[in-house]
Every structure is written in C-alpha cells, then in structure tokens.
Structure 1
Amino acid sequence: MDMDATNEMAPLGTQTIKLCILLYFFLIAVGGKNLSVFQTPSEIRVLKEGIAQINCSYGNTAEQWRISWKRSTSTTPLCQKLENKKNSTLISHCTKHKYIMVAPSAKSSSLIIKDLHFNDSDIYFCEVAYEIPPPQQMEKGKGTRITVRASPTVQLRAETLPYPHEGIQLICTSLEFYPENIQVSWFQDGQLIINGPKNGRLSANTDGSFSITSFLNLSLFDWNGGGNYSCQVNHSTLSAPITERISASNEACRILLNSLEGDVGAVYGPQNSWHPSDGHQFCSPGFLLGLAHVKFDILDCPGIQSIRDLSHTLVYGGL
C-alpha cells in the first residue's frame, strides 16, 4: 500500500472513532430521557398513629434497577428494593414501621408508613436507579411532604379559689395537640366572654405535642347565679370546635350523686344496695327513706325534684 492511500485512510479512521463516541453519548442522553420518576401526592396531612402512603411511577425498566425511599433529613434509605429481570432473588430492606410495595409490570412502587409520630414529619423522595446495563442512570421524584398532627383532648373542671380570693375558678385544659396554634374561647349562656379569661403558657410535651390551660375566675355570686359556662377549643385538626360545658347546679348534683354512690354499699351491704356494674341497679328502701332531708329544690338538680326522681337517676343514670 502506498503512502498516499495510508494518509487518506488515517483521517477516515479518526472520523469513525469520533462518530462512535458521539453516538455513544447520544445514546446515553436518549436513554437518560427514558428514566422519568413521578411521585404523588405532593403533601399528606395525617393524625398521629395514622398511616401514610406515597406512590411512585417510573419509565421503562432496565435489566437491573434499584428503588430507594429517602427523607430529606437523612441520607440513609428508609426502604430500598433491588429488581433484576433474570434473577428471581430480590433484595429488599425497610426500617421499622416502613413498608415498600413494588409492581414491576406497572413500573410503580409505594412507600407505606404506619404508626406515624411527630418526628416522622418530613419530605420523602422516591429514587430510581438503572444499574444494568451501564452507564448507571438515576432520577428521583419531586418529593412528598408528610405532616403529622394531633387533635386536642379537652377537659373542663371547677375548683374553689383559696382564701382570701373567694370564688370559683373554671379550668379548661387542651392536651397533646399539634401544631401549636390553638384558639380557646369562653361563653356564658352562649355569649362570648371578652374580659376575664386568661391563658396559661403553651407547654411542649416530650413527644413533640403541645398542651395549654385556660382559666376563668368567677365570684360566688356569679357562679351561684345559675349560668351555664362553656369552654370552646378550635384547632386545625378539627372539623368543628370542641365544646365542654359546666354549671353550678350540675356540679352540685354530680357531687351529691358521686357521694351517694360511694356511701350506699358501705351502709347497706352489697346485696341490698346500689351495684354500679349491675345492669339492674337498685337502692334499698331504707336508703331512700334516709334521703328525705335532702332539699332538692335548693340544689335545683335538672330533672330531680323528689326522692323518686333521685332513685330513678341512681338506677338508670343521668347527669
């Protein structure tokens, strides 16, 4: 072969190599577009100890691919699963309370988190990696924000103020709610009380939830005036506010009945007295005669104006 022919073939070989390199990177670019990850929903709000499910779908599968679920505050995967078309042995691992479901034919995966607590609030990502054939490709979803919340438990009670502040203090406690924003309102006979209520300091609980107590001080004159007082709590987790009610007459009657429940068995014995756990509760005639001195009209117990009314309430319940 002469020198001229060799010189002509050298540029041709160089061009072929360049063309192959360009084709290789073109195939990588085209192949990369085939891997697209879609994650839904974008946000989940769930109550404490509830369940959340995040869904992830992706493009065409490779010979071997890996699905990983991560949260923004940690680089360690919560769940991951390795799939291989030719090898039936799959590798799957999840941390506590986390589960992963994979449907290769549907090209989808789901992360299920059970028994959610406040420290599970975070942004979660689905990450898909094509490992075989090389080069490896990897994409992840846009993320799903999980916010764990808790509805308040509301308790209302009355306490006597110590001397010299004679009166009654109504105490409304909202327990274990999240997030911390909450509204507490007081009402008398359905009318909003503007002046008087005082809210205590918002306190953080060890589990991340919050509690708060609200107070309403009343004079004995106002308390004994027969008004009905209510504490209303509104929170973002509630479909309607929680309302707890209290009144002087109901409190007096409740104290009376609680006292009677405790005394009857001690005086008359278990066979002829009130049995709180018995569906056929009754009081002995001697016990009812012993209540003749009770001034029901002074107590103004709703629905109780006689010994017969009291016995019926003790037997069938009320208040």
Structure 2
Amino acid sequence: MEPLPRGPGRAAWPLTCLVLLCLRWPGAGAQAGQSFQLQQPQTKVSVNKGEMFNLTCTTSGDDHPGPMKWLKGWGSENETIYDQTGSFPRVTRAVSESNTDFTIHIMDARLEDAGSYYCVKFSKSLGGVQVFQHGKGTEVSVHAKPSPPVVSGPQHRAGPGQSVPFTCTAGGFFPRDISVKWFKDRSPILARQPQIITPEQLKSSYNMSSTLMVMLKEDDVRSQLVCAVQHPTLTAPLTGMYQLSKALRVSPSVHVDADRLSLSEVNKTANFTCHVKGFYPRGVTITWLENGTEIKVENTSQPVETPQGLFELSSLLQVQATEEKNGSMFTCRVVHDAQDPISRTATLQITAPARDGLSNWSQAYNGNLLVIYIVVGVVCTVLALLVAAILYLIRAKQSKGKSSPSARLHEPEKSSEATTQESDPNNLTYADLNFDRERKTIRRMVEMSQQSEYACIQTSQAPTSDDNLTYADLDMVHLSKAPRRPAPRPEEASSEYASVQIPRK
C-alpha cells in the first residue's frame, strides 16, 4: 500500500507514546466528559479488490474538544487513514461536516488495505493531544478475484495418437482457496490439483497453474478444451478455452492415379492425377518431378474442407506421350505443414502404334480372342486324352476277360471207320471248356451227375501275378471206362478242376 500523505495535524513519535500511555490507562481524561460515547459497531468487513468499503463510527453525548481520526493498526505500527484536517484522496466522509457521524468510505480497495481499523477520539490538554476514547476495531479483509484463466498448448503441432500438455493459468486472487476443472467438449477430464504459487509478501495475491495431458485424435479438429476456475469471490466460474485444432496435425494420404497410362498411345496426352486427402491444417504444397527434375504444373485445385474438418485437393499433370518419354518416371511430391515431403511415383508406359489402322480397342479385343482360343485348345486336348485313356482301359479289360481257364481233349487221328461214327451224338471225342476265374468247390463237383467220368488237372500253388495257367490240351484215345468211383478229393485248395462227362454207349 502506498503511504498515505500526512495531515497537518498528524502527531509523530510524541503522539505515539501518548497513545501507548492512554492504552495502559484507558480511564485517562474520562473525568472531563463522562457523557461522551463512541460507537464502532462493525466487527468484520469483507471487500473485493477494486471495490469501495465503509467503516462506521458515531458519537453521542456531550461534545468534547479534540479531533476524530481513523487509525489502521494499533501501537507503534499504527497508520493514520483519515484525519479531519488532512488530505486523503481515497477516503471521504459519509456525512460531511457532521459532529456525530464519522463514517468514512474507502475507494478502490487494495490487498494492502486488509487489517484492523480503529475510530479514535482525541482530547486537547496543556500537555498536548491524547487519546480520549476509541472503538473496538473493525477487521477488514480484501478479496481479489482471479484473472480470467488462460489455456496454452504445446509449442509444436502433434499428430493423432500423441499425448501433449495443456496449461491453465490464473493469478491475482486472494484468499488462497481456488479450484480448477477441465472439460473436453463438455465432458469432464480428471486432472491433478492445481499448483498454487505463494506470494512473497503476506498481503499479496496468489497465482495458480494447472497442467493436463491430452491424447490427440484425428476427429479433434473441431474439439475444444475448457478450463473452469472457481473462487470464493466469484458467483460463477471463470472459463478459458483452447481449440485442439491449434495443436493437431493430420498428415495427408497421397496417391497418384495412373490407371490409364498403360493404354496411352504415341503422341497422345497422358494424364497423371495426384490425390492428396485427409490433412490438417490446410497449408500444403504440391510439386511434380520428371525423372527427378522439377516441372511446372498449374492444374492444382484449392483445398476443400470435408465434413470431418479435414482437407483434400488434387493436382493434374498432362504429358505428351512421345516415344522418347516411354518409361519416364513422374513423381508427385507433397509438403504439408513444413514436414518431410511425401512422394508417390508413376511410370509412363506407351504401347506401340496400332497397325492396319486398328485402334486400341480392336487390339485389346484381338488379344482377348487369342486367349479364348488358347483356353479352348487346351480343354479339347485334355478331353481327347481322357477319351483315349478310357478306350484303352475298356480294351484291356476285354482282353483279360477272354483269358479264362480252358481245357481241350483231343483223340488221335481217326480211321475211316471212325469217320462213319461222327454222326453218333454219344461219341464225344473233343471238348473245349472255358471257366470263369473262380474256384470250384468240392460240393459243386460232387453234385455233378454220378455217371460222369473225370479228368483232373491239378496245378501247384497259384502264382501271385495274373499269368495263371488258363489253357490246357489233353490228347488221349479215350477215357478209362473203369467202374464208377467218386470224384477224386482235391489235395490242395489251390487245385483247379475240369470235368468231362462222356455218355455211355
């Protein structure tokens, strides 16, 4: 607090000593005016910084000669705030020229104004000025509202997925009690307690700082942070805001559209389109290079904002597709927000000129037709091979079916007499027997006619391969006509039998 100017009647150290003596002996001078009364009713007064506050003091009874003053503090450290004869710019009387109401107004309250104030009645005597009566004192507290909070972000932009710090600061408040809350798009965010900076002087204001870590997202372009500060001097919180777009950078995706280049013709125009999408902020630079050498391009659109708040644009490069440029590489280089460039490259491919006046469409059609012919030829070849294989398997099966077991019986050459007997059906001299490839069981042999005579062909163990014995020739004059006897019992399970039945003459 700036020192107040001294009034012409202000006492110095002698007066201070006199005041101390009067405090020790409060009854001094009381006999001079027993009916005089001084009232200082206020015990506490609270005021906000910069506002006006009142200190009330009234008197009653017989008037007593001597000045009225307001002192801040008591004892050796007291300070005169108001004197009837002095000049005090910030202090005025509530009722001017009144002999009973000594209430004062103090303008533009400051933090230094906090303290105890006393209304004092002095009396004059031969020894000088001394304290006659004083009030009980009024405790004045000055509250200071915090300044509007300020939210600051990182010094450099960050991309989605990165956590960056944000700081909320406010100062000049008194008393110390203060609270801070953070919000992101009206949703509360947990944060640590604010850091309070204590002033060097006891009656000075406090400062506050609160820090919050936030992970950025791609859709934070339109999001904002809010820092809300609450203090006893405030009826509603003070808020500070920060747009997250100031701290966010979304790098673009770059693509060069060159699908039509493979069908480009000599001396025709080939189009290269560079698409730059999904970036923020909008500042971007596009340059084209041909085989590493920068070329000038003017067909670049202006950035267009998407519903998500991001930007996109495109750049068109037109190239005369001459034979000398065949295989040339064209690069789209994008620089966004002073970051490292992003490059995408496409190659110019030129097809040979069409002969006999055929257009590119006819060439493509002929190429597709050739592919169809090749596919049809392959399918026909496969089908022919399958048919040949099937025929071969059928013939092999038929040839194997004919190789069934057989037995032949022959007689020697017959005489002329025997020739005459060929018409006799009972004179059987030759037989071809063809059997299926199956074993004849003993039961089937026994069930044959009892008048049959048998010729037995017994083979050894059947070989494992398909080259089994399937044919036999038997030459004999005639079969033995011994008395009937049962068919011989096979000695081994692998025997195969052929029976010949000869009717009796």
The letter of the residue matching 1:199 is P
CA contact (8 A) 1:58 1:108 kept: yes
Say if 2:42 is the partner of 1:41: yes
CA contact (8 A) 1:37 1:56 kept: yes
Higher helix share: 1
Higher RCO (C-alpha 8 Å, min separation 6): 1
Q: Counterpart of 1:139?
A: 133
Q: Counterpart of 2:444?
A: none
Q: What's the TM-score, normalizing by structure 2?
A: 0.39
Q: How does 1:235-274 map to 2 (within 5 A)?
A: 235-249=231-245
**Could you tell me which of 294, 297, 301 is aligned with 2:303?**
294
Q: Counterpart of 2:150?
A: 155
Q: Secondary structure at the match of 2:234?
A: coil
Return the offset for 1:236: 0.8
Q: Counterpart of 1:125?
A: 118
Q: Counterpart of 2:107?
A: 114
Q: C-alpha deviations, 1:42-67, integer Å up to 9, x for none? A: 32222223322212101124352210
Q: Secondary structure at the match of 1:159?
A: coil
Change (3 A) 1:205 1:240: farther
User: For the residues of structure 2 that align with 1:41 and 1:75, how far apart are their CA atoms?
Assistant: 19
Change (3 A) 1:225 1:249: closer
Q: How does 1:195-210 map to 2 (within 5 A)?
A: 196-197=191-192, 199-204=194-199, 208-210=204-206
Q: Counterpart of 2:253?
A: none
CA contact (8 A) 2:153 2:166 kept: yes
Say if 2:194 is the partner of 1:190: no
User: For the residues of structure 2 that align with 1:249 and 1:299, how far apart are their CA atoms?
Assistant: 12
Q: C-alpha deviations, 1:148-184, integer Å up to 9, x for none? A: 2211121112225799x94322211112111121101
CA contact (8 A) 2:222 2:309 kept: no
Q: Secondary structure at the match of 1:151?
A: coil
Change (3 A) 1:28 1:143: closer
Return the offset for 1:126: 0.5
Say if 2:98 is the partner of 1:79: no
The letter of the residue matching 2:81 is L
Change (3 A) 1:177 1:63: closer
**Could you tell me which of 228, 233, 258 is aligned with 2:229?**
233
CA contact (8 A) 1:67 1:127 kept: yes
Q: Counterpart of 1:212?
A: 208
Q: C-alpha deviations, 1:273-316, integer Å up to 9, x for none? A: xxxxxxxxxxxxxxxxxx96223226629xx9xxxxxxxxxxxx
Find the structure with the greater CA-based Rg. 2
Return the offset for 1:215: 0.8
Q: Unaligned regions of 5+ residues in structure 1, if any?
A: 1-24, 82-91, 260-290, 305-319
Q: Secondary structure at the match of 1:65?
A: coil
Q: Counterpart of 2:176?
A: 180
CA contact (8 A) 1:58 1:128 kept: no
> Kindly, what percent of the aligned residue pairs are identical?
19
* Deviates most, 291-300 or 229-238: 291-300
User: For the residues of structure 2 that align with 1:54 and 1:145, how far apart are their CA atoms?
Assistant: 10
Q: Unaligned regions of 5+ residues in structure 2, if any?
A: 1-26, 249-279, 284-299, 312-505
User: For the residues of structure 1 that align with 2:45 and 2:219, how far apart are their CA atoms?
Assistant: 46
User: For the residues of structure 1 that align with 2:152 and 2:117, how far apart are their CA atoms?
Assistant: 43
Q: Counterpart of 2:60?
A: 59
Q: Counterpart of 2:261?
A: none
Q: C-alpha deviations, 1:212-261, integer Å up to 9, x for none? A: 11111112238838544321100011011112233424777xx979x9xx
Change (3 A) 1:69 1:239: same
* Deviates most, 43-52 or 94-103: 94-103
Change (3 A) 1:64 1:30: closer
Change (3 A) 1:224 1:256: closer
CA contact (8 A) 1:65 1:131 kept: yes
User: For the residues of structure 1 that align with 2:97 and 2:62, how far apart are their CA atoms?
Assistant: 8
User: For the residues of structure 1 that align with 2:111 and 2:195, how far apart are their CA atoms?
Assistant: 23
Q: What's the TM-score, normalizing by structure 1?
A: 0.59
The letter of the residue matching 1:67 is M
Change (3 A) 1:142 1:183: same
CA contact (8 A) 1:62 1:130 kept: no
Q: Secondary structure at the match of 2:57?
A: strand
User: For the residues of structure 2 that align with 1:105 and 1:220, how far apart are their CA atoms?
Assistant: 68
Return the offset for 1:80: 2.1
Q: Counterpart of 1:93?
A: 86
Change (3 A) 1:247 1:183: same
Q: Counterpart of 2:276?
A: none
CA contact (8 A) 2:120 2:131 kept: no
Q: Counterpart of 1:267?
A: none
Q: C-alpha deviations, 1:73-111, integer Å up to 9, x for none? A: 533422223xxxxxxxxxx01456334466565611122
